[in-house]
Chain A
Amino acid sequence: MTARSERGQGPRMSGRSRQLNLPRAARVLSGPGGAPERVDGHAVEAVRESWLVEDRWWTERPLGRRYWEVLRADGANVVVFHDLRTGRWFTQR
């Protein structure tokens, strides 16, 4: 299980297997430092944590994500990441 998934970043699934926790596109408005300020229309109350994932930099399909764990104004705790390669935002559990 080494080849890319449908997003080109995960393991290849056999016939009827399915990946779990796939990233889902999110609408994120970020501030000057790159931190999310609104996620899917909800204001962000606080940023709990942030971390960087750099992987497969030695391949033609490198993976670069800046993760943010944030607390939204509606009380939901969500994890979003900014794909540094495509510039798009995703949520992920």
Chain B
Amino acid sequence: MIVCALLPRFELAVTTGGREALAEGPVALAPPPGREPRIGEVSGAAEAFGLHPGMLLGEALARCPELALVAPDPIRVAQAWEAILRSLEGIGAAVEAERAGVAYFDGQLLIGLHGSEGRVIAATRRALRHPARLGVGPTRFCALAAASRARPRRPVVVSGGPTAAREHLAPHPVALLRFRDGVAEVVEPLERLGVSTLGRLAQLSRDAVVDRFGQPGLLAHCLARGEDDPLRPRQAGETLVESLELPESASGPQLQRALSALIDRLLARPERGGRTLRGAVMAAALAAGGTWRERVTFREALSDPERIRVALLPRIDLLPAPADVLWLEAAGFGPPAGDQRALLEEGRARRRARLREAVRQARTSAGPDAALRVVSVDPGSRVPERRAILAPFEA
């Protein structure tokens, strides 16, 4: 029993300061600075012009010349969404939040706490404190589909297993896939090919879909057939944030020094208790208005400031304009690490250890052939292919 809480146009509503602004005319979130020119969430009036999130800005303006664009404010959205997630966690829900505005949790686990399915729904509604649509289904995607059809005060409940999920999903438009990361790109081609509903997508041969769309097609086909990954709830935990006001709007090396200082301050916080960081969220208030937010997940949990700098500093260069305020937030904690340095550090041994680690990471991301070296086998051979081989690199 997966419960989906859907807050339609959440990012847009938070950014514009309320849902009232969305009723005034066609509005859409402008493309984030420095990214691909694609619009974000759109208001109902904009939707009536055929606009949808992810559409190219040029096409959106061609379809709706009076479209009002609102600069995205990812920091405000993240704060508002975090407050909602914490509120849901407050009723005992282990929440998965793929994106702002859509949250899932296993309602079955809460029945013992609240008494019945109806009471779980009621508690959820109280916790949300926003006009939300609630759907219940055997899978996340089915629950999302149910929520998309639900009225504000009347949840849609789909009971049963994958077959019931598939039957419920069949009449829904393929556009519903836009809510899921990794499959949004298949929606437009499917619509162009005349595959307008999830039922029609499910009827297609899986091989044919994979042949045409690759991995996203496979995922979309599984979802349409009522198959979905299990829930991956986030770990409810404390927030650790450091911020720095920049008196003169900073960019370039100045910004890098500020980030460097924030890393040291974050690691020095006593609440960290020696734990490693699994990732970090950088955010900035831009001098020209608007905000910027970038999440970085480390390949492994880190507590070494130098290695955290190596991971974060290249990303700060993506900042589209000088910043007035910079924030750094710990995004998840890993197991504690021995932060104490060795009394006598062997430079060569350290370099070898780092090289080994770099090779391991390269192989993790690019496969076993990511780090190879040329080994001379028979350099004097008259047959060229016998002279050397590529062998795994061992540091």
CA distance A92 to B382 in the complex (A): 12
CA distance A19 to B67 in the complex (A): 59
A21 and B382 contacting across the interface, CB-CB below 8 Å: no
CA distance A21 to B392 in the complex (A): 17
- Which residues does chain A contribute within 8 Å of B389, judged by CB atoms? 11, 13, 17-20
One of B27-35, B117-125, B368-376 contacting the partner? B368-376
Assess whether B388 is interfacial by the CB under 8 Å rule: yes
CA distance A55 to B382 in the complex (A): 9
Within 8 A of B (CB), among A6-65: 7, 9-11, 13-14, 16-23, 53, 55, 63, 65
A55 and B391 contacting across the interface, CB-CB below 8 Å: no
Assess whether B24 is interfacial by the CB under 8 Å rule: no
- Which residues does chain A contribute within 8 Å of B383, judged by CB atoms? 9-10, 53, 55, 63, 65
A16 and B369 contacting across the interface, CB-CB below 8 Å: yes
A53 and B382 contacting across the interface, CB-CB below 8 Å: yes
The residue in chain A whose Cβ has the minimal distance to the Cβ of B389 is A17
Within 8 A of A (CB), among B105-123: none
Assess whether A77 is interfacial by the CB under 8 Å rule: no
The residue in chain B whose Cβ has the minimal distance to the Cβ of A10 is B385
B385 and A23 contacting across the interface, CB-CB below 8 Å: yes
The residue in chain B whose Cβ has the minimal distance to the Cβ of A5 is B385
Question: B388's contact among A5, A9, A20, by CB below 8 Å, is which?
Answer: A20
- Which residues does chain B contribute within 8 Å of A1, judged by CB atoms? 377
- Which residues does chain A contribute within 8 Å of B392, judged by CB atoms? 16-17
Assess whether B130 is interfacial by the CB under 8 Å rule: no
Q: How far is the CB of B372 from chain A (nearest CB, A)?
A: 7
CA distance A39 to B389 in the complex (A): 27
The residue in chain A whose Cβ has the minimal distance to the Cβ of B384 is A21
CA distance A46 to B42 in the complex (A): 67
Assess whether A85 is interfacial by the CB under 8 Å rule: no
Task: Name B's interface SS.
Answer: mixed
CA distance A53 to B386 in the complex (A): 13
The residue in chain B whose Cβ has the minimal distance to the Cβ of A14 is B391
Assess whether B387 is interfacial by the CB under 8 Å rule: yes
- Which residues does chain B contribute within 8 Å of A55, judged by CB atoms? 382-383
Assess whether B353 is interfacial by the CB under 8 Å rule: no
Interface size of A by CB at 8 A reads 22
B390 and A10 contacting across the interface, CB-CB below 8 Å: no
- Which residues does chain B contribute within 8 Å of A53, judged by CB atoms? 382-383
A18 and B372 contacting across the interface, CB-CB below 8 Å: yes
- Which residues does chain B contribute within 8 Å of A23, judged by CB atoms? 385
B382 and A20 contacting across the interface, CB-CB below 8 Å: no
CA distance A22 to B385 in the complex (A): 5
Question: B387's contact among A7, A13, A14, A20, by CB below 8 Å, is which?
Answer: A20
- Which residues does chain A contribute within 8 Å of B369, judged by CB atoms? 16, 18
Question: A92's contact among B368, B375, B385, B388, by CB below 8 Å, is which?
Answer: B385
- Which residues does chain B contribute within 8 Å of A19, judged by CB atoms? 385, 389-390
- Which residues does chain A contribute within 8 Å of B390, judged by CB atoms? 17-20
B374 and A20 contacting across the interface, CB-CB below 8 Å: yes
- Which residues does chain A contribute within 8 Å of B391, judged by CB atoms? 14, 16-17
CA distance A7 to B390 in the complex (A): 17
CA distance A1 to B375 in the complex (A): 13
CA distance A20 to B377 in the complex (A): 11
- Which residues does chain A contribute within 8 Å of B374, judged by CB atoms? 20
Interface string of A59-93 (1 = CB under 8 A from B): 00001010000000000000000000000000011
**Chain A residues with a Cβ under 8 A of chain B:** 1, 5, 7, 9-11, 13-14, 16-23, 53, 55, 63, 65, 92-93
The 7 closest A-B pairs by CB, nearest first: A21-B384, A18-B390, A10-B385, A17-B391, A20-B388, A21-B385, A17-B389
- Cβ contacts A to B, 7 pairs, < 8 Å: A16-B368, A18-B369, A18-B390, A20-B374, A20-B385, A21-B387, A65-B383
